[in-house]
Copies of this chain bind each other. A is one copy, B any other.
Amino acid sequence: MKYELYYWPEIQGRGEYVRLALEEAGAAYVDVARGPRGTAAMMKMMDAHEGTPPFAPRLVIGQTANILLYLGARHALAPKTEAGKLWVHQLQLTIADLVLEVHDTHHPLGPSLYYEDARPAAKKRTAEFWSERVPKYLGYFEQLLAGNGGTYVTGRRLTYVDLSLFQIVAGLRYAFPRRMKAFEADIPGLVGLHDRVAARPNIKAYLASERRIAFNEQGIFRRYKELDI
């Protein structure tokens, strides 16, 4: 069976956490919206599933962390026990909170406004994000990683949480190169984790392929010079 991923075709966005899991697992999938007439196909899909999704013959799953909960169990990207599954899902939900906060650095007054109309607020929000939130979130994962041996967050086996943390480090480096450069000394474990994930054969091949969309200023991680002081 081939998975179908429906996500905006021009950004990594929240879809990227799913793409990384599919790529690491070597799962067969189609990134539907990136194909011919893909956006139309995605819109059609969204319209068709505004109500309760049809459970058969196709299983339709929304929300990034929920999709990873499902894929993790099927592709050995999560522990096998119920307790372990809930635990990595909890970590993923914490990452989802962080991703929303990253988005709010450039959209503090709501997602429908243009960045240019929220710039002063964006500067304040970004300052708070780097002084309070990044140390809190990444400090938590750094400590967890160290406490579990330093290889992957839950121990010696990779989970989808490690893939997502790779994306967080890569994204912060893209969006805030100067701030991140200064901050990386505080998270040597996560930097190592990033490199370890990037070197995995399937991920390495993916990152070098055209399937990996480049970071850009329509996504979650955006590089605005005035926010990176």
Contact = CB atoms under 8 A, between A and B. Distances in A.
Interface of A: 50-53, 55-56, 59, 61-63, 65-66, 69-70, 81, 83-84, 86-87, 89-90, 93-94, 96-97, 100, 104, 108-113, 118, 121, 124-125, 128-129, 132-133, 140, 143-144, 147-148, 154
B108 A84 contact: no
Contact of A110 (B51, B52, B86, B132): B132
A5 to B, nearest CB: 15
A15 B111 CA distance: 26
Contacts of A154: 52
A124 B125 CA distance: 14
A154 B61 CA distance: 15
Nearest to A118: B124
A6 to B, nearest CB: 14
A93 B121 contact: no
Determine how many copies of this chain the complex contains. 2
A87 B94 CA distance: 20
A169 B180 CA distance: 40
Contact of A61 (B66, B90, B97, B121): B90
A52 B147 contact: yes
21 contacts: A50-B143, A51-B144, A52-B154, A53-B83, A55-B81, A56-B83, A59-B83, A59-B86, A61-B86, A61-B87, A63-B94, A65-B93, A104-B104, A108-B109, A109-B121, A109-B124, A110-B124, A110-B128, A110-B133, A111-B132, A111-B133
Contacts of A55: 81, 83-84, 87
Contacts of A97: 100
Contacts of A140: 50
A148 B83 contact: no
